[in-house]
Amino acid sequence: MTNAAVFRPKVVVIGSINMDLVVRCQRLASPGETLPGTSLQEIPGGKGANQAVAAARLGGDVTMVGKVGNDAFATTLLNSLRQAGVHTDHVATAADCGSGIAIIQVENSGQNSIIVVPGANALVSVDDVHRAEAAIAAADVVLLQLEIPVETVAAAVQLARRHQVPVIVDPAPARTDLPAEILSADWLCPNETEAEVLSGFSVSTPVDAANAATALRTTDQTTVVVTLGDQGAVCHTGEATLHLEAFPVTPVDTTAAGDAFAAALGIAIAKDCLPAMAVRYAAAAGALAATQPGAQPGMPTANAVDQLLDNYSPSQHLL
């Protein structure tokens, strides 16, 4: 991936745009418990916007499709995307509606808990997707998540497939009622919790993840990647199941590690990387994102990912 600047993949991200209200604390609060926080920050986020910024920093020519609200957060959210080089022609403003909000607790270990208020994200429609058809048809890859209406995600998968554009679905937040169109995307990349919800299998080890991935691979064209935090990632292509161990980093904030992973996976797929190489590149980006505070501010550059890949080579083996 060291020649990433030679070719700028066209990436379309269809998804959520949120303002993250991030509270740092010594540990996550239990139900009914009140704890002191150490800081509060307003940081642009949303899984869709995070992936768009990450893909742009990794060298992609990125178009965002989504909605912001008619409120004070909208300008900041749009500016964050534009400053990263993301095209926002397909980001609309919803009248009489606030922008999406995420309230995030981050403890000293880097673990987090998140509550999302969808706001304008709930209004991203099938029509919005079709208005972006020209951008989708010209794309090298489309990235999707589940913080916008599920029928919109399904329509985006269908439209991308019509134009033979590969689709990555990050099925977060997880839900059990996903239509077949979404589950048959070219790539599914859940974390262990999402893999449990979608497959019905308990996932705590790489072998568990392999079993869940096998269950989730409902079509021959789908590759499933289950991310496992400090246990790495498991990739199931149908022909083989590969476990890639984690990169040795110290996490500071894992909020957007999965978004960096999905974005980097998209960049690698757009460059026709083989699955093992694509997952390795994605894992490096996710690891680096976890070492920085905040969502979009912590997204790594292509140079940083290449440097990590040059310095470390986590073991990988077949399951």
Q: Which domains does the chain have, with CATH numbers?
A: 4-27+39-318 (3.40.1190.20)
**Close Cβ partners of 318 (under 8 Å, ≥ 6 residues apart):** 240, 241, 242, 243
For the segment 208-234, the average pLDDT, to the nearest whole number, is 95
| Chain segment 242-270, per-residue pLDDT in tens | 999 999 999 888 878 999 999 999 999 99
| Chain segment 164-197, per-residue pLDDT in tens | 999 999 999 988 999 999 999 999 999 999 999 9
Q: Could you give the C-alpha distances from 305 to 15, 148, 174, 191, in angstroms and in order?
A: 24, 29, 28, 21
Q: Phi and psi of 162, rounded to 5°?
A: -60, -35
- Assessment of whether the complete model's pTM goes beyond 0.95: no
**Close Cβ partners of 319 (under 8 Å, ≥ 6 residues apart):** 206, 207, 210, 234, 241, 242, 243
Residues classed as catalytic: 259
Contact call for residues 124 and 66 (beta carbons, < 8 A): yes
Q: H/E/C letters for each residue in 272-291?
A: CCCHHHHHHHHHHHHHHHCC
Q: Phi and psi of 204, rounded to 5°?
A: -135, -10
